[in-house]
Structure 1
Amino acid sequence: MRVRQLILACISGLLLPLCFPKFDLGLLAWVALIPLHIALDSATRRRAFWIGCLTGTIGFTGIMVWVVTVMTTYGKVPLPVSSVILLLLTAYLGLYVGIYSWSVVWLREFLPRYGIFFSPCVWVSLELLRTYAFSGFPWSLLGYSQYRELEIIQVADHLGVYGVSFLIILVNLTLAEMLLWLMPFFRGFRPKKLPWELATITSLLMLLTYGYGESLLTGSALPTPKGVVTVGLVQPNIDQVMKWDSAYRDETMHRFDRLTGQFGETTDLIVWPEAATPFIFEREKDYQLQLMALADRAKAPILFGSPALRFYPDRRPYLLNSAYLLSADGTILGRYDKHHLVPFGEYIPLKSSLLFFLDKLVEGIGDFEAGPGGTTLSLTPKATIREDGTSVPSRPVKFGVAICYEVIFPDLVRQLAVNGAEFLVTITNDGWFGHSSAPAQHFSMVVFRSVENHLAFARSANTGITGAVDPYGRILHATGLYTEESVRVTIPVWQPRTFYSRYGDVFAYGCVVICALLCLISLLRPKEPVHGTTAITPV
């Protein structure tokens, strides 16, 4: 029995990475966890926990093998050490699957037949915990596997990505319960009672979800955008080895100049990637003049990434990972400072106390401090020309910026919508990931941020993937990796304010409340008395 359970757990673990990019077999997610749920049948709680940990560790190792590339290629960490670090990280993530598996067995014991209904709530609660615990790491939440299934993911405008994860777990659980009900037939035994309640609820929720998504994507009652902006996205494909080498500064700027020049004067906004300038913009007067001249030729503001140098009260320096909006006339229209930094990449947590002996896993120019977050910037698109040749002046448009890692945090991007953003921009440098699956996984999360808030997203990446997503998650353009490209996209601007934008992760927190109530009821419920046995003497 134990060997069978281990094999089933391993099968689910091996199937999970196939659900995400680069494999992109998203529909497989709806059945990938069936083997795990079958393995949990008749398992003890302790065994269920370890079975789940095994599934999670194998699955996350396959999903996140790119971590080794980051550490060995750019962090100069020896391969054996980086492999151990990867396994420690994936074992930590596997704990969440282990806790979920434990809860499945516990719910079966606590509320026979009906306790299993609450298992998806546990999964969602654990995903929410993973989003915030230890600064948060919500990479490849189960719902992200469906970023190409547009009809299914529209429900994220109410429930967030967690709602899609809920449905996937519910379907896996229902199919597993149906298989467990059928198995005795093949063995000649009388089957358990048909789990028709679970099957009915699952079918109803899936029909409602698909119907809602279909109505949004094909309905004629959709709100009309207030206008459009034309965005020029630059993918320079600068090698990480060259990026901060002062000898290549002029070559880097020449490449940006050439790629930006391909847009002519037809764009409302030009976007360069994260840390695009190989220098601190505010401290390099000569390069400032180059950038101003470039913006003047383009006749459009340029949003570009550059470190910003600041000082503590005691005059110690620190850096901000910033995005500047430079107008065509050379004025700085605004700046956004990255709020959620990458632990061990942009800073070392607890460096002043526990982890003083560590250095960053990727090479860069120093440690960063977090910005305030939630900042929106503003631009005025070019005037539109009517058919009669007269021009219509444009109104200012607000947009939000997320830098790299920030786009994987749903609530952080939601705050930009709350603050009035009419479209969204993310700039990133995925060159650290090499040719791994990470850039595609990173890009897939942008789709959900668009659907959750019904705001278009434009994305500029150093080495790819650069592209745009419309307010309903349709990918308008996506470049390849390690290509040098200029991409022009036209995206709608509006302020739809979805349920998710207004209220955030109420669904996920609702799942947490349900789990907390179940635990409380379990603690308060009186224990069943243990009856003694009386020996019967045969006559």
Structure 2
Amino acid sequence: MADHTGVYGISFLIVLVNVAFAELFMWIMPFFRGCHPVKLPWELLTTAATCMLLAWFYSSAVLSDSDRQNQKTFITVGVVQPNIDQAVKWDASFRDETMRTFDRLTAQLGTRADLVVWPEAATPFILEREKEYQLQLIAWAERAQAPILLGSPALRFYPDRRPYLLNSAYLLGTDGMVLGRYDKHHLVPFGEYIPLKSSLLFFLDKLVEGIGDFESGPGPTTLSFSPKSWNTERSSGSRPVKFGVAICYEVIFPDLVRQFAANGAEFLVTITNDGWFGPSSAPAQHFAMVVFRAVENHLAFARAANTGISGFIDPFGQIIDTTPLFIEQASYAMIPTRQARTFYSYYGDVFAHACVIICALLCLFSYFRTKEPVMTAITPA
């Protein structure tokens, strides 16, 4: 169902069923008081039951579809979870130790992976300005025989030479070439930028250091590389595979993620740093959003998180593998690639927009409809 209506359709169905149960409960209550109940709300109950049955039959058909059972193309993705403490992540004295952690975990993947994924802001420095570390990364990509997707800030300048940052994901090839870069488009308010900074909230820039230095990227951009496993499987050679990258909380926005699919992505990656949340339920909730994005677009997901939860999800929402929170771990899995597009990938939140329009029309109808005259009692003089 989510591949047509998005997550808003699921929310609609949950609310509809709960309202139906509430109305049924209110209809039953008078029996216990010895009263005659009002009319059974059969229209609402029938609508809720019909929607539930349609959703169940459709999901069963999708999950049992032969196309799902016979996925033809797979790639092996490795994810690295370094578990770097937030207190030392940007401390220059811990920089070498952080990079040794990435080196060790990436080496554990061997040469099995077609793509190695590091978390958001993995490098505790600006990658483009550190030649020595660039050479290390190239050597590690060459050792893994696979490109490395890693998060790192990018420094740019306004026309007046004032600096600003981009929260970026670099795809570094085994030959040292940058195969592509995605710049985070949907920034975190009051974390990566200050809304209304130039007007209403101008004073926050002076009160809180480090906020408002980031700028948005141009939008959903797909990256591509040639998986080495396809070279051996296909006599005709390997073709590039396209994928999209959602950075941190971008993955909670359905319309943003579905644009990657609409632009031709064959699988999706999300990189994040959930260390800020600590031992709360937030990392699990954040990971649950990835499941929805996979189902909406029928595309597999690989997720690399600094402190967890990292893992893999198939195109139909089945969780392939996950890592525990707050441990160092490198893991890999084979995920399917798909070129099929869902209704939601093409058309987005049509269902949600339709609901808004219908609600607006109902409000207008109730406001402008002819009111019945109020009957007043006439008292004798």
Q: TM-score range by the shorter chain?
A: over 0.9
* Cα deviation, residue 305, structure 1: 0.3
1:227 is displaced (CA, Å) by 1.0
The residue that corresponds to 2:324 in the other structure is: 480
Q: 1:214 to 1:360 in 2, by over 3 A?
A: farther
Residue 313 of structure 1 and its aligned partner are, at CA, apart by: 0.5
- 2:294 aligned with 1:454: no
Give the one of 248, 269, 277 matched to 2:123. Answer: 277
Cα distance 1:312–1:359, how it changes in 2: closer, same or farther (>3 A)?
Answer: closer
Deviation larger for 194-203 or 252-261: 194-203
Report the TM-score when normalising by structure 2: 0.96
Structure 2 residue 364 is the aligned partner of structure 1 residue 524: no
| Structure number with higher helix proportion | 1
Aligned to 2:80: 234
Q: Structure 1 vs Structure 2: percent identity of aligned residues?
A: 70
* Structure 2 residue matching 1:425: 3-state secondary structure: strand
Show the 5 A alignment for 1:432-471: 432-471=276-315
Q: Secondary structure at the match of 2:88?
A: helix
Partner of 1:373 in structure 2?
219
Name the residue aligned to 1:309: 155
* Cα separation, partners in 2 of 1:218 and 1:234, compared to 1, 3 Å: same
Gaps of 5+ in 2: none
Aligned CA distance change for structure 1 residues 514 and 332 (closer, same or farther; 3 Å): same
Q: In structure 2, the residue corresponding to 1:244 is in which secondary structure?
A: coil
Letter matched to residue 340 of structure 2: P
SS of equivalent to 2:371: coil
**8 Å contact kept, 1:383–1:392:** no
Q: Distance in 1 between matches of 2:207 and 2:47?
A: 47
When the two structures are aligned, how many residues end up with a matched partner? 381
- How far apart, CA to CA, are the structure 1 residues paired with 2:208 and 2:141? 32
For residues 462 and 177 of structure 1, the distance between their equivalents in structure 2, rounded to whole angstroms, comes to 46
Match for residue 418 of structure 1?
262
Structure 1: stretches of 5+ with no match in the other structure: 1-154
- Across the aligned residues of Structure 1 and Structure 2, the Cα RMSD in angstroms comes to 1.8
Superposed counterparts of 1:108-187, under 5 Å: 155-187=1-33
Aligned partner letter, 1:530? V
**One-letter amino acid of the counterpart of residue 161, structure 2:** R
Question: Residue deviations 1:127-146, cap 9 Å, x none?
Answer: xxxxxxxxxxxxxxxxxxxx
Deviations 1:310-362 (A, max 9, x none): 00001100000000000001000000000000001111111222112225999
> Shift of the alpha carbon at 1:490?
0.7
Structure 1 match to 2:334: 490
C-alpha distance in 1, partners of 2:82/2:141? 17
Query: 1:364 and 1:250, CA in 2 relative to 1: closer, same or farther beyond 3 A?
Result: farther
Partner SS for 1:350: coil
Q: 1:523: how far off?
A: 2.1
Whether the 8 Å CA contact 1:382–1:393 is kept in 2: the answer is no
Q: Is the 8 A contact 1:231 1:267 kept in 2?
A: yes
Q: Distance in 2 between matches of 1:223 and 1:173?
A: 37
User: Which residue type is aligned with residue 310 of structure 1?
Assistant: R
SS of the counterpart of 2:99?
A: helix
User: TM-score when scaled to structure 1?
Assistant: 0.68
Distance in 1, Cα, partners of 2:45 & 2:352: 22
Alignment partner of 1:330 out of 150, 156, 176: 176
Matched-pair contact (CA < 8 Å) for 2:114–2:229: no
The SS at the match of 1:278 is: coil
Say if 1:274 and 1:480 are closer, same or farther in 2 by CA, change over 3 A. Answer: same
Q: After the TM superposition, which residues 203-218 of structure 1 pair with which residues of structure 2 at under 5 Å, given as runs?
A: 203-218=49-64
Task: Tell me if structure 2 keeps the 8 A contact 1:344–1:359.
Answer: no
Higher relative contact order (CA 8 A, sep 6+): 2
Partners of 1:427 and 1:348 lie apart in 2 by 23
